Amino acid sequence: MDRTIEQQLPVGRRGFLSSGAGVPGLAAVGELLRGRALADQSAPPQPPRAKRLISLFQSGAPSQLDLFDYKPGLSQWAGSELPESVRQGQRLTGMTSTQASFPIAPSMFRFRQRGSSGAWVSDLLPRTAGIADRLCFIRSMHTEAINHDPAITFVQTGAQLAGRPSLGAWLSYGLGSENQDLPAYVALISGTGDQPLYDRLWGSGFLPTRYSGVKFRSQGDPVLYLSNPAGITTDVRRGLLDDLQQLNGLHLQQTGDPEIATRIAQYEMAFRMQTSVPELTDLSNETAATFEMYGEDSRKPGSFAWNCLMARRLCERGVRFVQLFHRGWDQHLELPKNIAMQCRMTDQPAAALVVDLEQRGLLDDTVVTWGGEFGRTVYCQGKLTPADYGRDHHPRCFSMWLAGGGVQPGLTWGETDDFSYNIVRDPVHVHDLNATLLHLLGIDHVRLTWKFQGRHYRLTDVHGNVVRELLS
Amino acid sequence: MSVQLQIRRLLRLSVPAGCLLVICLRAAAQDGQSTVSFDRDIRPILSDLCFTCHGPDSQQRKSDLRLDQREGLFGVRDGQSVVVAGAPEKSVLIQRITSFNPDLQMPPPDFERRLSPEQVQLLQRWIQQGAHWTAHWSFIKPQAVQPPVAGGRFSGWCRNPIDQFVLSSLEKAGLTPSAEADRRTLIRRVSLDLTGLPPTPAEVQSFVTDTSPEAWDTVIDRLLSTPAYGEHQAVAWLDAARYADTSGYQNDGPRSMWRWRDWVIDAFNRNIPFDRFTIEQIAGDLLPSPTPDQRIATGFNRNHRGNAEGGIIPEEFQVEYVADRVDTTFAVWQGLTMGCARCHDHKYDPLRQLDYYQVFAWFNNLPESGRAIKEGNSPPLIQAPLPEQQQQLQRLGAALQVSEQRTKDLQPALARAVQAWQSSDSAMAEPDWSVTDGLTSHFPLAGNLHDVVSQQQAQQQVMPDGSTVFSLHNVAGFGYFDRFTFSSWVQPSADTGTLISRMIPVEHGEGYYVHLEAGRVQINLVKRWLDDAIRVESQSQLPLNTLSHVAVVYDGTRLASGIRLYVNGVEWPLEVRLDRLNQTFAVKAEPLRLGGGQSTFRGTLSDVRVYSRDLTRQEVQRLSVLETVQQILQIPPGQRTPAQQDKLEWMFLERHADADLSSAFNDVIRLRRELRALHDQIPTVMVMQELPVPRQTHVLLRGQYDRPGAPVQPDIPQALAGKFVPKHGNRLDLAEWLVSPENPLTARVAVNRIWQRFFEHGLVRTTEDFGSQGERPSHPELLDWLSVEFVRSGWDLKALQRLIVQSATYRQSSRQNSQLQNSDPENRLLSRGTRRRLSAETIRDQALFLSGLLSHRVGGPSVKPYQPAGLWQEIATDTAYEQSQGEDLYRRSLYTYWKRTVAPPTLVTFDATTRESCVVNRSRTNTPLQALVLMNDVTFVEAARVMAQNELKQPADSIEERVGRLFRLVTAREPAGHELEVLCNRYRRNLELYRERPESALQLSRSGEYPVDDSLNPSELAALTTVTSVLLNLDEVITKE
């Protein structure tokens, strides 16, 4: 029934529903009627601070020690054993737990304080450093899993095991769509390395599958099955669609099933997508200055830079949640060489996206996030040499940045110990981050729920606190 | 303004009347003065809003008050009764929930949810009406109930007891059943429901014209006896069992569980009773002398995901696997959310954390590792030969036995022949002999590395200490699935150094090397130290400055136990240092090095041989004979060692024996190889198996693998055990309890899942939750009657389904009208038939069926039909999707290869599950992406093309005749005049258009891989294809009417 309602509602009404905090979106209204969602919403309404979210997820876990979490004292410890007083018997992955020693590897990269806020950013990220005053850095992120699959799944769905809806699916369910010819939630993939991703990261879990993110691809059709088959041109398609709609309309009259009305509408939406998606991915009207800003890579479909530019274009067209997945940060070995390469690929376009959104007046109501699934160890994985080191997985602390609507710019939040091993001040758990992101979009994370298996499930499980200090 | 009000106001603006009425109906039910039922109306409120703090969870319980039990609800608190029957105002419960004092108010102000005014009223009315309490319905065993006798106007409508229950509740609501659907609708409905395939036009015709009273039963019996029935039944079971073809984490490597899948199809087709079906899947391995099939059946609980990611902590995931078994078993058989009791007592249902771990203990007793095998099945597993393979095994085994006996019998003849030959002149010139079968490289060296190596164009490297290492590219590039053997004569002058290698000691190098370490022979197969490698080492030391023959044999099993070391023909015991190989060690970068790699060998190496197979012990013994043929011949026969004599005989067999003799010995070799090759082909399946010594299970504090609490013994959950007495002391007890008369849930849950196959929902809509948070059944008496009947029939699944489709309830028309939408908006009262979109699998299978493309082959390895290029590689880095060919493109969708992290896109778009965890109730959505699939996926375009092609090959007088025939084929009904007109006009217009665009016509008429019929006119074919494509897109066609 939810579908029917959503289809029948005029677009103008959608704004009304998403404008009050704690008010479930259209889809959620349907669930309310069915008694699955929460019927009672007594929290005072708060206006959302942002309408859209862009997540620049850096898959594989970038090293906080080499990018944001400056530890000048470590140079004295270079090659020395990580003190047990720091490690405190915390678990390690099977890749390094059998190492005979845990020599400390200080970062090889130079850090400087940036902008008027004085945020520390290493020279690996010059463009990001250049917009430091617009960013809010969190150095005290922490998570629970120690391996990629469960950790990435945890960041995206709030649970380590498969089966829960992703953040974007919750947003689609809670807030519905802001546009009529594109999906509400789009995922874009870039980067190589041997790190796989999984459909579940933008999946709908136990929510109906229509809340899944739609993966836009860089090869073949941007959206699966978008193109007409060879031999069917647009005019032929339109004719066939007219017939189909007419026949379905007849059947609707006979059966009285409103589901048919929905299907008729979905075919029209599909037809619109056949125009709107190619228009979206056609960058011919972007200026040379834009390509220069995002970097030359932004002309190459499937690159992180191209995806960043796409993110802006999707935002302009009312796509609520754009999620980039960029792979290649899993630097167990040869970290200095590999991280430099990753940064060259990602630094400029990420910074350009923030600036571009700002220039177009979109940053005020768009939240941008940048970060991975966990951090990396201060001790060296493998052999430590003056020119080389590697770092293993480290869930106990990592760094992220946020920017845009409702986020406090120029803030550096949280602090780790001298080894970037344990958090000493203002920890931010993944659930806290997700609670905060939902809050920025006008949703109370404890109230956006779905009853499944007898429980009122939510993105943040039974945890999570909005980190108010991060808000402007 | 409350949100509910806002929503109501909002809805009034634009929502069709039917939807609005839901709300009104609900409100009406709540405002009315009908009798309040504790189980139906009150427990759900208490459960949802109170049990979190006043329920089964002892840790979370506040003020030691339990509202989930009668004692607590009617108890006395501080001198006041929580509930005073007949007196709401005196009941503390009501005082608290109506209080405005934040200190007294319940639920407390900071609780996430509030009671609605309607809920407060209900509670008040319940108390007013006497506060009658009953236990939760699903925990009371179903009782045999008499179907109500219908006496009203519609009493003649009933065809079986199902209808009596349905009619009775319709009448109570003042409703009447819908008219029966027409015959064409009926046969299409029942065919799709029972087999997942539509009827053929002939089947439709025969049912329409069969006026006998048995016509319907004839159709049902036919459908229940087709193999397609079992295939269709299996799909939902595969969802529940989270069956897939990959392991599901990170790189998501392949596994092979299709033998279990085929067991399921077969079990449904054989209609094995559901209690057997249950016992064999839960504990078939523990039945007395289990058959291979009974062991395969236990694959059910090995279908969970398995993590092969590098660096995981195996203990963590071993716990997850066991937890998955517990959660899945309870969801599938008990409709309970057992997983909620993993970290604490269940918040709503009487399941303690202790119960959870007692059940956990049943499933925690496998010889398994938390780190799964990356490519292939993880132990415990068994070979599961197909029947024809089983026959081949027997045939080859018997033949081998005969051949072996024959060579034994021929042994004296062989000895005599050798004896005769060795005194001949030619023997004096006989060159030496060695094992050459499978020899890929041979470096005689003779202690001097120089000669051969220059021939092999190897690079010579003088080491700092003056010794020499030779390296050769493209030699012995073995990986972890390859069988191989190295053999060499070795005379070390120092106790440490590398004999042979394709690996160097760089940080995180990979490859393999055979090495002397302090005299011990060490074999290393390495992907990554130390968590992805094998290292074995001899206990004994190789003597210094003495010539020894060393052979290393690896059998491709990826296990330390697959490595053998022979010194001078004698197998040396190996100590396992590491046994964690999970990825291939094949390297391209490093060359084969003799005498170096890790560290330089000092001494001499001679006669280095590389074989691309694992030599037998006897073959290695022949290699370890130092003496040449000529030298052996010098030794008088009586003084030769058995190995020397054996070498001589095998040389003789290869070179000089007569045909009789050599073929007898060759037969043995050939048969052994055939047997080996057959074994390599036999599929395996992961199964349940018990450890000889049970693993001690502990309660895990907060559910965490590294926080063991008190030890526990396996047991049945206390609240559900009834009078059941376990008698085996193993998993079989759990299986028997599930299907024992003491279990209140199993039959109900099974019946409900079957019911939801035929109607929009189960009688209990929350298929996955029969606990206090679940919905009550719409027809509780009907559910109980069906459950009792199901058990009485001997758990007969076909009989149950026959009963359902024979009912008048099932045969109602699904047409809606405003009256029906008002009176029974969600069809909970079953006042009409069910109109529902087909499942993903059925939509695809139907298109293949209608075009005649569908393969009817049952079972076998999973297949890879059309899928957009690059879909796997773009997210699952190293795997390419190798599309199937020919018939395998057109198999039923349940045979589609299911990669969990990138599930088949066409099917997932239509709400198929990813199979990552147990799903007992799929969602059914309606999206634009579905429209794109039906319009553009080559699967459906090709089906449309082939349908058109088939039609054009038949004679027809007019396009109307053709379109009419196609319409009947696809919908099972006659087209209306206007429908025919629309489609025929489109055909004519497109025909004109394609005649002007021959290129387009040609493209469309060649969609897919199915052969094109060049005798057909491409424009006609293209034009008719556009029409059949519209037909396949009709809402009616992807819907069960």
> How many whole angstroms separate alpha carbon A462 and alpha carbon A431?
9
Query: Could you give the C-alpha distances from A158 to A95, A165, B82, B316, B321, in angstroms and in order?
Result: 25, 8, 38, 18, 20
| In chain B, % of residues over pLDDT 90 | 79
pLDDT score of A27: 47
SS3 content of chain B, % helix, strand, coil (to 5): 45, 10, 45
CB atoms within 10 A of CB B457: 8
Centroid of chain to Cα A428: 17
SS3 B610: strand
Residue A216: pLDDT over 80: yes
Distance from CA of A333 to the nearest CA of B (A): 8
Which residues between 9 and 48 in chain A have a beta carbon less than 8 angstroms from any beta carbon of chain B?
Answer: 9-10, 13, 16-17, 22-23, 29, 32-33, 35, 38-42
CB atoms within 10 A of CB A40: 17
Look at the domain B449-624 and name its fold. Answer: Jelly Rolls (2.60.120)
The tokens of B518 are what?
């302090």
Query: For residue B902, which residues of chain A lie inside 8 Å, CB to CB?
Result: 198-199
Which residues between 531 and 560 in chain B have a beta carbon less than 8 angstroms from any beta carbon of chain A?
Answer: 531
Residue B462: pLDDT over 60: no
Residue B868: name the closest of A169, A229, A263, A324 by CA: A229
For residues B596-608, give the mean pLDDT: 87
pLDDT score of B506: 80
pLDDT score of B299: 98
Residue A6: pLDDT over 50: no
Query: Which residues, in sequence order, are CB contacts of B397 under 8 Å at separation 6+?
Result: B675
Strand positions, DSSP E, A311-376? 321-327, 366-371, 375-376
Torsion from C-alpha of A14, A20, A24, A30, nearest 10 degrees:
-40
Contact B320, A161 (CB under 8 A): yes
| C-beta atoms of B902 and A199 within 8 A | yes
Query: For residue B774, which residues of chain A lie inside 8 Å, CB to CB?
Result: 454
Which tens digits make up the pLDDT trace of B749-760? 999 999 999 998
Give the domain ranges of chain B: 1-32, 36-134, 449-624, 936-1040
Using the Cβ of B444 and the Cβ atoms of chain A, whether some distance falls under 8 Å is answered with: no
pLDDT score of A42: 38
pLDDT score of B28: 38
Using the Cβ of B1030 and the Cβ atoms of chain A, whether some distance falls under 8 Å is answered with: yes
Which tens digits make up the pLDDT trace of B159-176? 999 999 999 999 999 999
Residue B768: pLDDT over 70: yes
For residues B23-46, give the mean pLDDT: 67
Using the Cβ of A455 and the Cβ atoms of chain B, whether some distance falls under 8 Å is answered with: yes
Residue A16: pLDDT over 50: no
Torsion from C-alpha of B206, B207, B211, B217, nearest 10 degrees:
130
Residue A31: pLDDT over 60: no
Query: For residue B11, which residues of chain A lie inside 8 Å, CB to CB?
Result: 5, 29
> How many whole angstroms separate alpha carbon B686 and alpha carbon B298?
8
For residues B33-46, give the mean pLDDT: 86
Distance from CA of B878 to the nearest CA of A (A): 7
Which tens digits make up the pLDDT trace of A185-209? 999 999 876 788 999 999 999 999 8
DSSP-derived letter for residue A117 is T
The tokens of B912 are what?
């198929």
**Best of A330, A453, A460 to mutate (most B CBs within 10 Å, chain B):** A453
Residue B208: exposure state from Cβ atoms within 10 A (0-12, 13-18, ≥19): middle
pLDDT score of B467: 57
Task: Report chain A's C-alpha Rg in angstroms.
Answer: 23
pLDDT band, very low/low/confident/very high, at B651 (cuts 50, 70, 90):
very high
SS3 B563: strand
> How many whole angstroms separate alpha carbon A148 and alpha carbon A158?
14
Query: Could you give the C-alpha distances from A471 to A130, A403, B596, in angstroms and in order?
Result: 22, 10, 62
Closest chain A residue to B835, measured at CA? A257
SS3 B978: helix
Range with the poorest average pLDDT among A93-102, A123-132, A442-451, B679-688: A93-102
pLDDT score of B8: 36
Using the Cβ of A283 and the Cβ atoms of chain B, whether some distance falls under 8 Å is answered with: no
The CA-CA-CA angle for residues A375, A379, A382, to 5°, reads 105
pTM of the model: 0.90
Sign of CA dihedral B792, B796, B798, B800: positive
Phi, psi of B804 (to 5 degrees): -65, -50
Q: What is the ipTM of this complex?
A: 0.89
HSE value, Cβ hemisphere, 13 Å, CA-based, for B335: 30
Closest chain A residue to B308, measured at CA? A149
Residue A129: pLDDT over 60: yes
Range with the poorest average pLDDT among A246-255, B87-96, B952-961: B87-96
Q: Look at the block and give the residue holding tokens 């030959």.
A: B421
Q: Look at the block and give the residue holding tokens 């007992």.
A: B920
- Candidate from A227, A247, A269 with C-beta closest to B936: A227
**Best of A46, A160, A225 to mutate (most B CBs within 10 Å, chain B):** A225
Sign of CA dihedral A401, A406, A409, A414: negative
> How many whole angstroms separate alpha carbon A333 and alpha carbon A62?
13
Using the Cβ of A249 and the Cβ atoms of chain B, whether some distance falls under 8 Å is answered with: no
- Candidate from A91, A233, A269 with C-beta closest to B1000: A233
Residue type at B592 in one-letter notation? L
| In chain B, % of residues over pLDDT 70 | 94
Residue B817: pLDDT over 50: yes
| C-beta atoms of B311 and A259 within 8 A | no
| C-beta atoms of B979 and A247 within 8 A | yes
Query: Could you give the C-alpha distances from A175 to A24, A111, A183, A443, B167, in angstroms and in order?
Result: 7, 41, 13, 9, 42
Q: Look at the block and give the residue holding tokens 């018990």.
A: B690
Contact A257, B835 (CB under 8 A): yes
Which tens digits make up the pLDDT trace of B677-695? 999 999 999 999 999 999 9
The tokens of B701 are what?
């504090």
Query: For residue A454, which residues of chain B lie inside 8 Å, CB to CB?
Result: 337, 340, 348-349, 766, 769, 771-774
Residue A103: pLDDT over 90: yes
Phi, psi of B544 (to 5 degrees): -75, 150
The tokens of B320 are what?
């997850």
Distance from CA of A358 to the nearest CA of B (A): 31
- Candidate from A94, A382, A451 with C-beta closest to B312: A94
Which tens digits make up the pLDDT trace of B127-136? 999 999 888 9
**Best of A36, A197, A199 to mutate (most B CBs within 10 Å, chain B):** A199
Strand (E) or helix (H) holding A127: helix A126-130
pLDDT score of B40: 84
Which residues between 622 and 641 in chain B have a beta carbon less than 8 angstroms from any beta carbon of chain A?
Answer: none
Query: For residue A98, which residues of chain B lie inside 8 Å, CB to CB?
Result: 530-531
Query: Could you give the C-alpha distances from A405 to A50, A137, A357, B414, in angstroms and in order?
Result: 5, 15, 11, 91
Residue B909: name the closest of B883, B884, B936 by CA: B936
Phi, psi of B508 (to 5 degrees): 60, 40
Q: Look at the block and give the residue holding tokens 């809402």.
A: B1035
The tokens of A393 are what?
């997985």
Q: What is the per-residue burial (b if ≥16 Cβ within 10 Å, else e) of B976-990?
A: eeebbebbbebbeeb
- Mean per-residue pLDDT over chain B, rounded: 91
DSSP-derived letter for residue B513 is E
- Plot region of A264 (φ>0 → left; ψ -120 to 50 → alpha; else → beta): alpha
Task: Report chain B's C-alpha Rg in angstroms.
Answer: 37
Contact B500, B514 (CB under 8 A): yes
DSSP result, B370-417: SB--SSSPPSSEEE---HHHHHHHHHHHHHHHHHHHHHHHHHHHHHHH
Which residues between 756 and 815 in chain B have a beta carbon less than 8 angstroms from any beta carbon of chain A?
Answer: 766, 768-769, 771-774, 814-815
Range with the poorest average pLDDT among A152-166, A189-203, B364-378, B649-663: A189-203
